[in-house]
Structure 1
Amino acid sequence: MLKLSRPPRLVFGIVSVVFFLAAWEVIAWSGLLGSSVPAMFTTLSHTFEFLGQANSWAVIGETVAMALSGLLLAIVAGVALGILIGLSATVRHGSKVIVEFLKPVPPIVILPVVVLVLGPTMGMGVFLVFIGCVIPILVQTAAGVVDTDPVALDSARSFGIGKLETTLKVVLPSAMAFIGSSIRITAPIALVVAVVAGLFGGGPGLGRLLMRAASSGQQTEVFSIVLVAGMLGLLFQSISVVAERRVLHWHPSQRVEETR
């Protein structure tokens, strides 16, 4: 299998971006999709103007605050509940129906109920992000706990190590790779749900701004906001990947990833 060094990967990434922008410009000027697609250069110029306004950064900050707050709450609750479920077969079997029921339910399904109860507020967005992220983190954490090496557990018991210390020094490190991957996966999801909370729930942030622009027919504004949201998603993904590598630098999974 051909392995690519970092410079070629970067070059291929730049080429793909250039190709995408060129295709966008061709589609806009050719009118293949009608007049609904603004020109690429016009959209990029408007995006830079958007980012140069203080009000825009306040809106971006609201979206980021909702995403991070909900994600942090989901991490705390998901890891704690995942450890409890993974350690106890009784709790695991007792909670299986509830977890399996909630796994396929997207946050947008309960959006009307949450808006009805909490209103179009920041708290509504944080709660939706929490709901969208906590189940994947919980499931992955529980799987990591169950996957703990039984020999390591038996060794801890033979040395008379208590349950709490065994959990902290044996079980939790074993599950860290599962927890890290779940956080890396849910970080972009948190941003998506935060935008959706404003787009369909009227919450503050980029989603509300996007809905207003779409309702008033401001096509360039719509594309600019989508670009900003995409850049935020890329930032969230990159930060989560770097954080996972830094925290789990000692784990074999990270050494395998570095050799690919």
Structure 2
Amino acid sequence: MGDSRLLKWGTGALGALIALGVWQLAAAGPLAGSPLPTAGEAIGELARLVVTPEMWAATWDTVAMALLGLAIATAAGVLLGIGVGVSPLAMHATRVPLEFLKPIPPIVILPVVVLVLGPTAGMGVFLVFIGCFVSIVVQASAGVFDTDPVAKATGQSYGLSRGEILWSIVLPSALPYIGTAVRVAAPTALIVAVVAGLIGGGPGLGQSLVQTQITGNQPRLFAYVLVLGILGLVVQGLSQWGERRLLHWHPQYRKQVS
């Protein structure tokens, strides 16, 4: 187990080094006259950027919007998903509207949200909520609906109430669906939070990207891109770790946790 994990991390690090090498060669060679800085220049600017309070304040604004919007979307999505999933009529009645709304990006309502809420953190939180809510509802309702009917019938035969069956049988059965939905939604929340600043003028790293682009400081612009990439890796890693810990009892995750 330890060797396979080390191999995975080593392969990932090697891939990152190769990508940086290709970037360096391209920027110093064929693209030498373009605005693209070399990897060395961007990394050097990143080293100077990480000691500035402005970068950490912008990072915190982005992470706070993403986390708060994701938390609200998870709570509301799971509750609505349970309500939909326990009723076959509601499940079939809402399937088409939910599947229709799921691929629509929150960016389409950005002008209206900015007009109502302004370029604020609340605008970013609302957009993150919209971007994550529907997919969580779809997955939670599917998990509840797909609960093994034999398990529910067994609970009824032991005299469990509907509430006890929901808590002891249905919710554990739906947790893998919900965990997957939240894991997939976590990077989406980060992306939407950045877009809220990039296009909507809200606080955070998106706004920092726009301001840096206006000044024409290309190395700093790409340093911010590196910050976003690192932040995305952290969010993805934490969401996967949280999913494994939450579902350590599930057969799919036992070997990964042990």
- TM superposition score category, shorter chain reference: over 0.9
Counterpart amino acid of residue 78 in structure 2: V
Q: How far did residue 146 of structure 1 move? A: 1.2
Cα deviation digits, residues 63-115 of structure 1 (max 9, x gap)? 00000000000110111111111101222233234312211110111111111
Query: For residues 147 and 91 of structure 1, what CA distance do their matches in structure 2 show?
Result: 14
Partner of 2:60 in structure 1?
A: 61
Q: How far did residue 34 of structure 1 move? A: 3.8
Alignment of 1:95-110 (within 5 A): 95-110=94-109
Partner of 2:148 in structure 1?
A: 149
Partner of 1:190 in structure 2?
A: 189
Partner of 2:178 in structure 1?
A: 179
State the secondary structure of the residue aligned to 2:199: helix
Counterpart amino acid of residue 175 in structure 2: M
Query: For residues 147 and 94 of structure 1, what CA distance do their matches in structure 2 show?
Result: 16
Q: How far did residue 225 of structure 1 move? A: 0.7
Partner of 2:119 in structure 1?
A: 120
Cα deviation digits, residues 41-77 of structure 1 (max 9, x gap)? 1110111111111121111100000000000001101
Q: How far did residue 32 of structure 1 move? A: 2.7
What fraction of aligned residue pairs are identical, expressed as a percent? 49
Q: More deviation in 60-69 or 93-102?
A: 93-102
Alpha carbons of 1:216 and 1:248: their partners in 2 closer, same or farther (altered >3 Å)?
Answer: same
Query: For residues 181 and 224 of structure 2, what CA distance do their matches in structure 1 show?
Result: 27
Partner of 1:50 in structure 2?
A: 49
Query: For residues 142 and 242 of structure 2, what CA distance do their matches in structure 1 show?
Result: 21
Greater than 4 Å deviation, 4+ residue runs: 256-259
Structure 2 gap segments, 5+ residues each = none
Query: For residues 159 and 92 of structure 2, what CA distance do their matches in structure 1 show?
Result: 28
Partner of 2:220 in structure 1?
A: 221
TM normalised by structure 2 equals: 0.95
Query: For residues 235 and 32 of structure 2, what CA distance do their matches in structure 1 show?
Result: 31
Q: Does the 8 Å contact 2:69/2:128 carry over to 1?
A: yes
Alpha carbons of 1:224 and 1:69: their partners in 2 closer, same or farther (altered >3 Å)?
Answer: same
Query: For residues 96 and 136 of structure 1, what CA distance do their matches in structure 2 show?
Result: 12
Counterpart amino acid of residue 6 in structure 1: R
Aligned length: 256
Counterpart amino acid of residue 165 in structure 2: T
Residue 201 (str. 1) matches residue 173 (str. 2): no
Query: For residues 96 and 250 of structure 1, what CA distance do their matches in structure 2 show?
Result: 30
Q: Does the 8 Å contact 1:177/1:253 carry over to 2?
A: no
Query: For residues 145 and 113 of structure 1, what CA distance do their matches in structure 2 show?
Result: 34
Q: How far did residue 256 of structure 1 move? A: 6.0
Counterpart amino acid of residue 127 in structure 1: F
Alpha carbons of 1:142 and 1:33: their partners in 2 closer, same or farther (altered >3 Å)?
Answer: farther
Alpha carbons of 1:236 and 1:142: their partners in 2 closer, same or farther (altered >3 Å)?
Answer: same
Q: How far did residue 160 of structure 1 move? A: 2.1
Query: For residues 109 and 216 of structure 1, what CA distance do their matches in structure 2 show?
Result: 28
Partner of 2:134 in structure 1?
A: 135
Partner of 2:29 in structure 1?
A: 30
- The root-mean-square deviation of aligned C-alpha atoms, in Å, is 1.5
Q: Does the 8 Å contact 2:245/2:257 carry over to 1?
A: no
Counterpart amino acid of residue 180 in structure 2: S
Q: Does the 8 Å contact 1:124/1:203 carry over to 2?
A: yes
Counterpart amino acid of residue 181 in structure 2: S
Q: More deviation in 133-142 or 28-37?
A: 28-37
